[in-house]
A and B are shown apart, each in its own frame.
Chain A
Amino acid sequence: MNTLYERLSPVVRNLPPSGIRRFFDLASQMQDVISLGVGEPDFVTPWHVREACMYSLEQGYTTYTPNRGLPELCVEIAKYLTKFGLTYDPSHEVLVTVGGSEAIDLALRALVCPGDEVLIPVPTYVSYKPCALLAGADVVELPTYAEDGFRLTADALERAITPRSKVLVLCFPNNPTGAVMDKEDLQAIAEVVQRHDLFVVSDEIYAELTYGSQHVSIAAIPGMRERTVVVSGMSKAYAMTGWRIGYAAGPEPIISAMLKIHQYTIMCAPHMAQRAALEALRNGDDERDRMVESYDRRRKLIVAGLNEIGLPCHEPRGAFYAFPDIRPTGLTSEQFAERLLLEQGVAVVPGNVFGDPGEGFVRCSYATSVELIEEALRRIRTFVEHLSYHPVR
């Protein structure tokens, strides 16, 4: 152990390494890999949005913007959020951030003190836990299960609460499970949250990507607005991952606290990307809806295919991930993913990297072409059939 390493901040040293990293290195060395491991849209940002950015550069919009973000962008964001029954004052209750990721970091840093407990339903996106730990909090993971469609139950939440509980982080529609919380589910959660006087950081980045039902924000449940920070952004809905434009909306005191951190650490989100986001919010709905329809078709294709292969797959009602149960193969998630990659050249993400209850599952992104999904399904079938002739146990 070298001394330089030992002198690093213990908080950072003790952060678990990303479970995806090793897998990424392995896959990157291989040829002819079909990747179902990508957590972003397969569309390029719509041309009119890219064009608006180029125009803004021609016009010389290369300066800082106000810390909060372009006022007109804050207005568009507030206007957009009304579709979920949320009303925010764009000049005090909205903040434009560098991706939804920054908003999550800011919200947790603004809300928690060392020793507070942050409650995180798992399996879930990998950033919440490290952000909470970096903010000095202790993390309490709340397992969710396939039998409940990977939804958080009020009962599971209630049982995990201690006097130190401070913030509940929600990510629905969920990465990696595709789970969606309906209004009744959220009402039950809201009742517990209010009774124990918790805050909620609700990452709703996949809000537009729901199939067969309209997204419900927990902030729209009565009594929740004053204790919820809604986090979202342009990445998934408008195929704008690389632009890094996200936002937070919430009660003024929390957003002002987040703004304070943001102004010292980030200053402002990139100006040209904010101009592009403005164009996407004003004129991007048709293209967005076409992309969602396209995901829906591929979703049905992959879910039907996985079930036929004998990897039971609950219906993912949101995001662009299928989360099949691979336990019938007798392999662990890591074994399944590694062998599938090495033997058939298909990359999926082992479910355990998203939290312990993800063990026994793998995440398959269907944000890829129909042809590649079908070829991947053929290869997975070959892999699974081969396994059944050569059982591991």
Chain B
Amino acid sequence: MNDALRLKVCNLLHENAKLSPETIARMLGERPDVIEKTIEELEQEKVILRYSAVVNWEKLPVNQVTAVIAVKVLPQREVGFDAIARKIYRFDEVKSVSLMSGGYDLQVTVVGRDLREVSRFVSEKLATLENVTSTATHFLLKTYKSDGVIYDDTDGERRLMITP
């Protein structure tokens, strides 16, 4: 198992999931079949979970609101935070769940059609879960940069077409 190669392949695909195995092979100076096999392994081992596009939803005619919710919970014996996290992430409305250090325990991202839908989810589903002691809901107003991608990047081509 070539860890360095696996890491390079993941870095390239994370940056651009559309790169073909042939292109990756050329960029890394490897054989295409080696790259194909590496990607297959990464997928099987669930190192690569999914290929998706980074979408700026604000540019589409969709009504949706995103809330980032700080959740405090009582950890449980033996399972700690995992059991409650599992209960939370199974809701379709929940897009991400992370365990945090600091002032709260779980950071939960929820997407809904409007403010009311998200509030209803928080008050009826999330806050009422056993061992959830408090929630603080923050509505997301605008995304500037996410996962390394600047949303309104104006860094276009500024170079002269031909220079010595």
A and B, one complex? yes
Q: Does B164 touch A at the CB level, under 8 Å?
A: yes
Count B interface residues, CB 8 Å: 15
Query: Quick one: which of B12, B23, B161 contacts A35, CB cutoff 8 A?
Result: B161
Query: Quick one: which of B12, B26, B164 contacts A39, CB cutoff 8 A?
Result: B164
The 0/1 profile, CB within 8 Å of A marked 1, for residues 143-164 of chain B is 0000000000001000111111
Query: Quick one: which of A40, A125, A300 contacts B159, CB cutoff 8 A?
Result: A40
Q: B158 — nearest CB in chain A belongs to which residue?
A: A44
A44-B155, A297-B28, A370-B16 in contact; A37/B23 too (CB < 8 A)? no
Stretch at the interface among A20-28, A65-73, A108-116, A214-222: A20-28
A44-B155, A370-B19 in contact; A347/B28 too (CB < 8 A)? no
Q: For B29, list chain A residues within 8 Å (CB).
A: 300
Judging by beta carbons under 8 Å apart, are A20 and B27 in contact?
no
Query: Quick one: which of A27, A127, A374 contacts B162, CB cutoff 8 A?
Result: A27
Judging by beta carbons under 8 Å apart, are B159 and A298 in contact?
no
Judging by beta carbons under 8 Å apart, are A349 and B16 in contact?
no
Judging by beta carbons under 8 Å apart, are B27 and A300 in contact?
yes
Judging by beta carbons under 8 Å apart, are B160 and A38 in contact?
yes
Judging by beta carbons under 8 Å apart, are B23 and A370 in contact?
yes
Chain B min CB distance to A167 (Å): 21
Judging by beta carbons under 8 Å apart, are A347 and B26 in contact?
no
Judging by beta carbons under 8 Å apart, are A126 and B161 in contact?
no
Q: Does A304 touch B at the CB level, under 8 Å?
A: yes
Q: For B164, list chain A residues within 8 Å (CB).
A: 18, 20, 39, 125-127, 175, 349, 353
Q: For A385, list chain B residues within 8 Å (CB).
A: none
Q: Does A305 touch B at the CB level, under 8 Å?
A: yes
Q: For B16, list chain A residues within 8 Å (CB).
A: 370
Q: Does A134 touch B at the CB level, under 8 Å?
A: no
Judging by beta carbons under 8 Å apart, are B26 and A349 in contact?
no
A301-B26, A301-B27, A370-B23 in contact; A347/B155 too (CB < 8 A)? no
Judging by beta carbons under 8 Å apart, are B162 and A349 in contact?
yes
The 0/1 profile, CB within 8 Å of B marked 1, for residues 34-72 of chain A is 010111101010000000000000000000000000000
Question: Chain B contact residues: over half helix, strand or loop, or mixed?
Answer: loop
Chain B min CB distance to A178 (Å): 15
The 0/1 profile, CB within 8 Å of B marked 1, for residues 339-364 of chain A is 00000000101000100000000000
Q: How far is A370 from B27 in the complex, measured between Cα atoms in Å?
A: 9
Query: Quick one: which of B23, B160, B162, B163 contacts A301, CB cutoff 8 A?
Result: B23
Chain B min CB distance to A348 (Å): 9
Judging by beta carbons under 8 Å apart, are B26 and A304 in contact?
yes
The 0/1 profile, CB within 8 Å of A marked 1, for residues 20-39 of chain B is 00010011110000000000
A20-B162, A39-B164, A42-B159 in contact; A374/B28 too (CB < 8 A)? no
Q: Does A33 touch B at the CB level, under 8 Å?
A: yes
Q: How far is A353 from B16 in the complex, measured between Cα atoms in Å?
A: 36
Judging by beta carbons under 8 Å apart, are A305 and B26 in contact?
yes
Judging by beta carbons under 8 Å apart, are A300 and B23 in contact?
no
Chain B min CB distance to A305 (Å): 7
Q: B27 — nearest CB in chain A belongs to which residue?
A: A297
Chain A min CB distance to B16 (Å): 7
Judging by beta carbons under 8 Å apart, are A23 and B162 in contact?
yes
Q: For A127, list chain B residues within 8 Å (CB).
A: 164
Q: For B161, list chain A residues within 8 Å (CB).
A: 24, 27-28, 33, 35, 37-38, 347
The 0/1 profile, CB within 8 Å of B marked 1, for residues 286-316 of chain A is 0000000000011011001100000000000
Q: For A38, list chain B residues within 8 Å (CB).
A: 159-163
Judging by beta carbons under 8 Å apart, are B26 and A300 in contact?
yes
Q: A33 — nearest CB in chain B belongs to which residue?
A: B161
Q: Which of B68-93 contact A (CB under 8 A)?
A: none
Q: B20 — nearest CB in chain A belongs to which residue?
A: A374
Q: How far is A98 from B80 in the complex, measured between Cα atoms in Å?
A: 62
Q: For B155, list chain A residues within 8 Å (CB).
A: 44
A44-B155, A370-B16, A370-B19 in contact; A298/B27 too (CB < 8 A)? yes
B interface with A by C-beta (< 8 Å): 12, 16, 19, 23, 26-29, 155, 159-164
6 example contacts (A-B, Cβ-Cβ < 8 A) are as follows: A20-B163, A38-B159, A42-B159, A44-B155, A349-B162, A374-B23
Question: 9 closest A-B pairs (Cβ-Cβ)?
Answer: A37-B162, A297-B27, A39-B163, A304-B26, A24-B162, A301-B26, A126-B164, A35-B161, A27-B161
In the complex, given contacts A38-B159, A297-B12, what are 11 additional A-B residue pairs having Cβ atoms less than 8 angstroms apart?
A20-B163, A35-B161, A40-B163, A44-B155, A125-B164, A300-B27, A301-B23, A301-B26, A349-B164, A353-B164, A374-B23
